[in-house]
Structure 1
Amino acid sequence: MGDVSNDLSRRERRKREVRDRIMRAAMKRFIRQGFDDTRVDEIAQDADVAQKTFFNYFPTKQDLFHQLAEERIDELQEILEEERSGAGSTRQKLEHCFVRLSELLEERGLLARDLILEAMRARPPGMTGEDITKLHTAFGAILRDGQVRGDVRTDHPIEFLTEMVVGGFGAVMNNWVNIRDYPVKDRLAQTAAFLGEAISPKGAGRKGQP
């Protein structure tokens, strides 16, 4: 029984490794030459797998791209969880999250825009309930910790504050994928500063106030 279990475990691990290799190869190709100009045979070659193996994991190139888009939500959630466990005020944590996101967008260029657009396009009118729940949970945990520390206002329910933070983030992302030459880096910084001020207790040293 143990040998059978070990064999299954090895096979599953092998499948995950191959899938991850294909996705990493695709990401590099998409960043370098774009989605439309990347062929499945190029991805398969870079991942050191046969085209048939590629299609065993992903029916089409679009399916692979959609999976990459889904993983970006998970990546953002990981960033939020890392910032939650780090040092600093709640306001600083939010600002760090938005800065790190801005750096990722800059690193991946137009691919990042396409991935976010794909996540929105796949299930109109935008993110799924599951995606939003992930972000609500991650942002909400940071804000809830802040209320315990005393640097997040308590005159509004945590659910409302979380909605405002997620909504602000979502608005910037939506504008970025839909508006040509949208200043996403500046807007993320401005939004983080605005939200940081909005969640702070009244009179807690706001900018421009004594």
Structure 2
Amino acid sequence: MNNRRERKKILIKKSISDVALKFFLAKGFTDTTVAEIMEAADLGTGTFYNYFQSKEDVLHSYLTEKINEARHILEAIQQSHGEPSQKLSEILLAAGKSYEENRQLFNMYMQFHRQNPDAGRQPPHGPLFKEILVDIVSEGQEKGEFRKDIPTAIIIEMFMGLLQSTMTSYLPTPFMDNLRHKLSLFLEGLAVKHQP
């Protein structure tokens, strides 16, 4: 009996979330109301608050789910047997792909926070990827693949900056091409130069 009730709750929450996301994409986050979400979901308006605190909570919940999916991919990359530079490449491209597939919703979320600085929510990813990146950079330094004269924190900040600068780029270059070019420049500067 409890399993059926839990499944029903999960389905209702997913239904509300799916309808809300369609409205956010079609009308915009601000112009979407809880009442119209719930009418389209064929549920009472009060039911919304049994599952979510606000419209922003719907968006945050969805993005957190997407980031958790990406985290599993990144952890698998981290544990793979590839070289550290290959792992960094795969991680950046996987994160870039996740962003590109959900770009409009990520941008809505960030715009909401720029307009509502008192909302008190952290970005859904938080410090999620830092530990994975530190491990890979340290591995690359230990194996002599990456330079040791640059502090790990600087390398991580620059690496994360590749994605951030691509996310805010106004160049006509397609997103993933832009990211690949920046990654290539980054890895060339990070590589240990072997003397002939």
Give the counterpart of 1:133 among 127, 138, 142: 127
Residue 200 of structure 1 corresponds to which residue in structure 2? 191
Query: Whole-Å Cα distance in 2 between the matches of residues 112 and 40 of structure 1?
Result: 20
Distance 1:44 1:147, change over 3 A: farther
Distance 1:121 1:163, change over 3 A: farther
Distance 1:99 1:133, change over 3 A: closer
RMSD over aligned Cα atoms: 4.0
Are the aligned partners of 2:96 and 2:163 in contact in 1 as well (CA < 8 Å)? no
Distance 1:142 1:59, change over 3 A: same
Query: Whole-Å Cα distance in 1 between the matches of residues 124 and 58 of structure 2?
Result: 19
Gapped runs of 5+ residues in structure 2?
Answer: none
Query: Whole-Å Cα distance in 1 between the matches of residues 51 and 176 of structure 2?
Result: 35
Are the aligned partners of 1:90 and 1:142 in contact in 2 as well (CA < 8 Å)? yes
Deviates more, 1:17-26 or 1:137-146: 17-26
Tell me the CA shift for residue 12 of structure 1. Answer: 8.0
Give identity over the alignment, percent: 28
Gapped runs of 5+ residues in structure 1?
Answer: 1-6, 205-209
Query: TM-score, with normalisation over the residues of structure 2?
Result: 0.68
Superimposed CA distance per residue, residues 10-56 of structure 1 (whole angstroms, 9 cap, x where no aligned partner): 9888766654554355445545x353475545644776754322122
Tell me the CA shift for residue 118 of structure 1. Answer: 4.2
Query: Whole-Å Cα distance in 1 between the matches of residues 124 and 107 of structure 2?
Result: 21
Q: Which residue identity does 2:74 align to in structure 1?
A: L
Query: Whole-Å Cα distance in 2 between the matches of residues 28 and 148 of structure 1?
Result: 48
Query: Whole-Å Cα distance in 2 between the matches of residues 130 and 94 of structure 1?
Result: 21
Tell me the CA shift for residue 187 of structure 1. Answer: 1.7
Query: Whole-Å Cα distance in 1 between the matches of residues 124 and 60 of structure 2?
Result: 15
Give the counterpart of 1:107 among 83, 98, 101: 101
Residue 28 of structure 2 corresponds to which residue in structure 1? 35
Is structure 2 residue 180 aligned with structure 1 residue 189? yes
Tell me the CA shift for residue 84 of structure 1. Answer: 0.8
Query: TM-score, with normalisation over the residues of structure 1?
Result: 0.65
Distance 1:20 1:122, change over 3 A: farther
Is structure 2 residue 14 aligned with structure 1 residue 23? no
Is structure 2 residue 147 aligned with structure 1 residue 153? yes
Residue 170 of structure 1 corresponds to which residue in structure 2? 164
Are the aligned partners of 2:130 and 2:156 in contact in 1 as well (CA < 8 Å)? yes
Distance 1:107 1:164, change over 3 A: closer
Query: Whole-Å Cα distance in 2 between the matches of residues 122 and 79 of structure 1?
Result: 32
Are the aligned partners of 1:84 and 1:93 in contact in 2 as well (CA < 8 Å)? yes
Query: Whole-Å Cα distance in 2 between the matches of residues 172 and 10 of structure 1?
Result: 45
Matched position secondary structure for 1:133: coil
Distance 1:14 1:154, change over 3 A: farther
Superimposed CA distance per residue, residues 65-97 of structure 1 (whole angstroms, 9 cap, x where no aligned partner): 244345555454444322212242222222222
